[in-house]
Amino acid sequence: MKAGARVLLLPAAALMAIFFGAFLVFAAVGMLSCAPGTPGYSAPLTLGNYLRFFSDPAGLRILGWTVVFSLSLTAATIVAGYPFAYLIARTRWAWVRNLLLGVLLVTFLCGSISRAYGWLILLGRRGLVNEALMWTGLIDHPLALIYNVSGVFIALLHFTLPYFVLTVFGAIRAVPSQVEESARDLGASALRVFFQITVPLTLPAIVGGATLAFSLAISAFAFPLLLGGGRVRLISNYIYDQLFVAFDLPFAAAVSSLFLLVALVILWGFFAVERWATRAVYRRAG
Amino acid sequence: MRHYLGKALWLLFGVAILSFLLLPVVFTAVYSVGESRYFQFPPQAWSLQWYMAFFRAQKFYDALINSAILALVVTPLCLLAALPTAHALARYRFPGQRWIDALVLSPLIVPGVITGVALLSLFRILHQDIGLVRMSVAMIVVCFPYGLRALAANYQGVDPATEEAARDLGYGPLRTWWAITLPQLRTGLLAGAVFVFVEVIDNFSVNVFLVDLHSNTLPIAAYQHIRDVDDPLVAVMSTLLSILSVLLVLGFSRMMGLERMFKSR
């Protein structure tokens, strides 16, 4: 490596040293144990905390459930987000495109606590959604939409959607609309063009956006904290409780290390699918 | 006939998603300007009293100051660290470059709670217990990839030939970078600054582990308020943040067009 590049990479190296240094300390702290009655922790080093998590069915269930929840949320994001991105990319009117992009960007910028709070108001027992449903006569009693999974799911979908749409939209724009039009001229139906031309050509971006949505979903913390009301706990909330309810930093560190491992393995799977999809597009293009 | 049906379905779908996106923002704003302490729709009377209450509330005022300090310290430092990194990655070829690329972006994919606990373990060992210091370091590390990605995307549009021409005319490497490269990085710097700024203001999951008793940030103060009190003060905060983001978006679409902004994400 040239000396010039080495000097330029110094600041990044320093930041990475802090980041990965923290993880080294933290994996080691996971092997310590809590000193009873004090805020500190003490040796000897053991794998006890790691083993304790594996023998705790509640903890394992939360971890497994977090993964299932995040995968379903990713699927919902794709189903709602892809047609929306398609609409933005293919609309004939520039003002519609700018309006939709602007709304996405505002949602994206205005912060997670604000949005979680917005959903808390909308979905509450006396919230707008329940009032509207009662007024139409569809229901007699308010539905329980918050402090359970559905509220967390709806609010998180609202959170992941802009990230996904903004990732996929560029890829759809990059597919020349003439390609779709010529397929139509050759007699293919609109649906067939959509599923056999547009979707396969933008598959790498779909997987990329899905990876983003999944990593946001699996890291979700504030949304279940506010909208779950203590009843919906994802792994992040479990770790937080170990720290601030049980004051057990070593155990929290051990659980976090295992969680990180699971998250990275799944994300690696997503990246592998993305690489495969990119190669498939090049093969089609010949 | 089928043609019109398709159009109508698209319209319906677009309106549905659009209202899904806007609903929480709009109704939070309505709640903030209503007179009632509890959410009513439509509000029976309009009032700005909750805005006055928000600015009078000491805890929100302190949190606002802390968040502002954090954002003003972290945003420039992040970009200062990202500038040389982006240059090295774009203009030099060296072994293991793909790995370095992936490595510097890794803070983006590690869940915030894990980063928070890890940094907390580090700071405990270093005996650093000032919340603002801990959060500043954490935010620089966490937000660095946002700045870097925006600049790296921008570098793809900077033609190396313009730099070579300057070098041929006798400019040194530093002067070339300052006079030729940097001015072309304006979009990336602007977009990077916005993404870093927004993340610092909004971050909850990392900072909640690093905060001390005297240094609440806005999201943490808002969370505690929602947990303990039932009034529209947080609706006021959310509305002010939404107005800020609308202004940012309008500014962007005038300065560089929205589509270009997304290319730097």
pLDDT score for A41: 61
B125 burial level (CB within 10 Å; 0-12, 13-18, 19+): middle
C-beta atoms of B237 and A114 within 8 A: yes
**pLDDT beneath 50, residues of chain B:** none
Q: Is residue B129 part of a domain?
A: yes
pLDDT score for B101: 78
C-beta atoms of B117 and A18 within 8 A: no
Residue B66 contacts residue B139 (beta carbons within 8 Å)? no
Distance CA A263, CA A193 (A): 35
Q: Is residue B51 part of a domain?
A: no
C-beta atoms of A161 and B27 within 8 A: no
- A64: pLDDT confidence band, cut at 50, 70 and 90? very high
pLDDT score for A24: 87
Residue in A with minimal Cα distance to B173: A4
Q: Show the CA angle centred on residue A48, arms to residues A42 and A49, nearest 5°.
A: 80
Residue the block writes with tokens 């040293």:
A17
CATH number of A57-285: 1.10.3720.10
- A83: pLDDT confidence band, cut at 50, 70 and 90? very high
| Size of the A and B interface in Cβ pairs below 8 Å | 240
User: Using a CB cutoff of 8 Å and minimum separation of 24, what contacts does A135-139 make?
Assistant: none
A239 burial level (CB within 10 Å; 0-12, 13-18, 19+): buried
Q: What is the pLDDT of residues A129-144, one digit of tens each?
A: 887 888 887 787 777 7
C-beta atoms of A10 and B84 within 8 A: yes
Contacts of B85 in chain A (CB under 8 A): 8-9, 11-12
Q: What is the pLDDT of residues A113-124, one digit of tens each?
A: 889 999 988 888
**Domain CATH code at residue B253:** 1.10.3720.10
Between B105 and A258, where is the model more confident? A258
Q: Is residue B19 part of a domain?
A: no
| Full residue range of the structural domain in which residue B61 is found | 56-263
The mean pLDDT of A81-87, rounded to a whole number, is: 94
Q: What is the domain count for chain B?
A: 1
Residue in A with minimal Cα distance to B110: A260
Q: What is the pLDDT of residues A228-237, one digit of tens each?
A: 877 888 889 9
pLDDT score for A42: 60
Q: What is the DSSP letter of B108?
A: G
Residue B155 CB: number of other CB atoms within 10 A? 17
C-beta atoms of A240 and B106 within 8 A: no
Least confident of A229-238, A257-266, A267-276, B17-26: A229-238
Six token digits for residue B248: 């940012």
Q: Is residue B155 part of a domain?
A: yes
Distance CA A253, CA A32 (A): 10
All structural domains of chain A with their residue ranges: 57-285
The mean pLDDT of A80-98, rounded to a whole number, is: 90
Least confident of A51-65, A157-171, B216-230: A51-65
Q: Is residue B113 part of a domain?
A: yes
Residue A166 contacts residue B195 (beta carbons within 8 Å)? no
Give me the phi and psi of B127, to 5 degrees please: 55, 40
Helix (H), strand (E) at residue A41: strand A41-42
Facing residues of A41 across strands? A34
